[in-house]
Structure 1
């Protein structure tokens, strides 16, 4: 397949969508199965997921920066540079993941207490965080490997691996929760072990695919490679992405602690809504990820006018899909919530948020699409500045003020999230429309066309 066909939005997006959708199904299956243990177990999984998302920022800073640079270098016909960047990103991510594994294993209960997990749920949280968190090095390896592979234009490989991982995980979940197939009935501990086993197998297969992802096969001696200028270039893109992602994830972690202050039912309701909302933006997020790879490749090849127009196509495509999904969720959401829990209070809390979700998702899609476009051309500092500003001066304080102080509860927290998404979406859209990030390339015909359109 030619590079032009390999890096089209649809060819890149559909395998990412299937991979993301399978992850959504994995999360849904997890939540459904864990809900058979107790609503408290669901709350533990929910807040633990936010914790794990927060700590992964440390290695995703390298992996994400490397992903953008890999696509740019391949677009610029510099495959050896792309290969070196990929190797460095995997090595550094695994080392960071190993350190995080040790910390999460040793201090699981202390961390859970800091997150305001109710005292009755601390034993469950201790077990889950220590086991799943103890395997964070696998998460780091998977993230770095799949990001590198995906940015070579091969989005199908990670998709197939995700299919296998999800099937294994769901089967093991069922076995450990219900004691099926002769397995011990380990409850939430079994869910954690299932997560580790499926991730280990996925990491092994991803590693095999990774060594064959470039023109020259990666050998054991290649793993010692380190190129300081390329690493510096990776971090110039990656560290603002890391700060922005950290701001978002830690703000979400704080929001979860606010929700935990409201009570265990509110925490469970938000966890269920997180699972259901994933249905809304899974395809939109896939479009955004594909758009980032496409634009990075076009930008690296010097095709800036095409990159400029591609961002808008991706945004409108994502908006159409996300709004369709949000409407479906609004219509069928109450029935879906009833699948997760029989607690009428939790169902009522979730139903009350379905209308607000209709407002939330378009703003989130604009953010994802245009933010991905800016990331693809390396304009990550602007995203970092606007994200830090909006998340910490708007979303987080207003969530506390509306949700806790004014006692609006989950509705107040959602209102703050909506305001944050639209503010950031407006700022990144305005930035892309200005064309500023495409101008340093000198006054080429492509540059002049972009300037005229902006």
Structure 2
């Protein structure tokens, strides 16, 4: 099987998994919008904070994932992969419990930063506290997911995602509106549905990983092994997760700007994000599939194959994203009409989505090159570039365009687009000119 076919075989399950999450996310949004437009905006604000914390907890999964793919490519012994898995699981469990406790204790202070009030604050607080209590389960599940993907088991991960999302939709229907003898819980119902579906996913994924890597293979956990591998996980995971933390923190600050524009802008932003998610899911999945294969090639020493694959994926990602973005712009008004009948929200969100071409032109490249650079161990360069661009361009011009130039919500999208394009150009240059030279460092030789 040639590289392109192998890439698509890996990426399509990831694509359908991402598509499924987007579809279910839209169904969640639609269900909540039938309950209350304010509830949609409130959940969007709460999730902005929760996503930031999840990315912070993703340090271990990021580092372990890079090492695992290279170990698989290098055909390292099963004990090495077992040590990585157990170490990542133990640390993520501890981190998850810490974050869960912290978020519950300081939920009101965190939401207070967003300057919410009234019903918007009440809904956001209800959702935030429930999800926060069980956040540790999601962090533990990340470890199992990384293990499966590093072995190319993307179809298995897709099947579990289907199960989780079916459970989520059914429970949303029952708990949000009150069916099957349950009270109508509204936003709280949506939160409990999410938590229960995550518990189901954790149990199923955990049992699969156990059968694949532990049941028939002897393993004795040694604390010395954990002490040896953890610093290497952190060395790779911290900058990789730091780049994502910076991105989400920058978007968090932009969300604060949006809250200053009022409830209509908050809700329009949530709906615009929901629809825009369908545009970049192909790039997300292709980037993940590319990272898996480049990790394998790095572990086995096939540098030229990895370099060609990264460039090929970037071109494919850009082409597909532009097609999807065009379809979104053409049909944006009827699509928004499915989500809400508030004409003011539809008009604002529809205007915002016209600027999505700028965002996707850069994002479609970033999602490939960032994953490719991480897969070869170049985690520091993306972090430094992202830190400077996201804040120096994204956040700075968001404020200027939104308030100084009075562009409002579209100003946020324009600034996001400029940031994405600048990073795309720098990452592309890094990959094409340097990826087979100084930055190339097969990690399997270091461990």
Specify the TM-score bucket, using the shorter chain as the normaliser: over 0.9
Q: Which residue of 1 aligns with 2:114?
A: 115
Give the alignment of 1:321-336 within 5 angstroms.
Answer: 321-336=320-335
Q: For residues 312 and 335 of structure 1, what CA distance do their matches in structure 2 show? A: 36
Is the contact between residue 176 and residue 187 of structure 2 (CA under 8 Å) also seen in structure 1?
Answer: yes
Q: Cα distance 1:373–1:297, how it changes in 2: closer, same or farther (>3 A)?
A: same
Q: Which residue of 2 aligns with 1:182?
A: 181
Q: For residues 218 and 376 of structure 2, what CA distance do their matches in structure 1 show? A: 31
Q: Which residue of 1 aligns with 2:10?
A: 12
The C-alpha deviation readout for 1:207-234, integer Å capped at 9, x for no partner, is 1011133377478964968433322222
Q: Which residue of 1 aligns with 2:40?
A: 42
TM-score by length of structure 2 reads 0.94
Q: For residues 222 and 172 of structure 2, what CA distance do their matches in structure 1 show? A: 35
Is the contact between residue 362 and residue 424 of structure 2 (CA under 8 Å) also seen in structure 1?
Answer: yes
Q: Which residue of 1 aligns with 2:445?
A: none
TM-score by length of structure 1 reads 0.93
Q: Cα distance 1:400–1:6, how it changes in 2: closer, same or farther (>3 A)?
A: closer
Q: Secondary structure at the match of 2:184?
A: coil
The C-alpha deviation readout for 1:221-268, integer Å capped at 9, x for no partner, is 649684333222222211111211110011111111110110110000
Q: Which residue of 2 aligns with 1:60?
A: 58
Q: Cα distance 1:436–1:190, how it changes in 2: closer, same or farther (>3 A)?
A: closer
Q: Which residue of 2 aligns with 1:259?
A: 258
What is the root-mean-square deviation in Å for CA atoms of aligned residues?
A: 2.0
CA apart distance, 1:118: 3.1
- Whether 1:386 aligns to 2:377 is no
Is the contact between residue 266 and residue 346 of structure 1 (CA under 8 Å) also seen in structure 2?
Answer: yes
Q: For residues 114 and 164 of structure 1, what CA distance do their matches in structure 2 show? A: 36
Q: For residues 125 and 350 of structure 1, what CA distance do their matches in structure 2 show? A: 21
Is the contact between residue 291 and residue 372 of structure 1 (CA under 8 Å) also seen in structure 2?
Answer: yes
Q: For residues 324 and 261 of structure 1, what CA distance do their matches in structure 2 show? A: 34
- Whether 1:86 aligns to 2:121 is no
Q: Cα distance 1:436–1:286, how it changes in 2: closer, same or farther (>3 A)?
A: closer
Q: Secondary structure at the match of 1:36?
A: helix
Moved more, 429-438 or 215-224: 215-224
Q: Which residue of 2 aligns with 1:447?
A: none
- Aligned pair count reads 440
Is the contact between residue 280 and residue 325 of structure 1 (CA under 8 Å) also seen in structure 2?
Answer: yes
Q: For residues 372 and 47 of structure 2, what CA distance do their matches in structure 1 show? A: 27
> Structure 2 regions of 5+ residues with no counterpart?
442-447
Q: Cα distance 1:345–1:332, how it changes in 2: closer, same or farther (>3 A)?
A: same
Q: Which residue of 1 aligns with 2:444?
A: none
Is the contact between residue 244 and residue 388 of structure 1 (CA under 8 Å) also seen in structure 2?
Answer: yes
Q: For residues 295 and 229 of structure 2, what CA distance do their matches in structure 1 show? A: 16
* Correspondence for 1:27 among 25, 38, 41: 25
Q: Which residue of 2 aligns with 1:274?
A: 273
Moved more, 328-337 or 81-90: 81-90
The C-alpha deviation readout for 1:91-143, integer Å capped at 9, x for no partner, is 11111111111122222222111122234422212211100111101111122
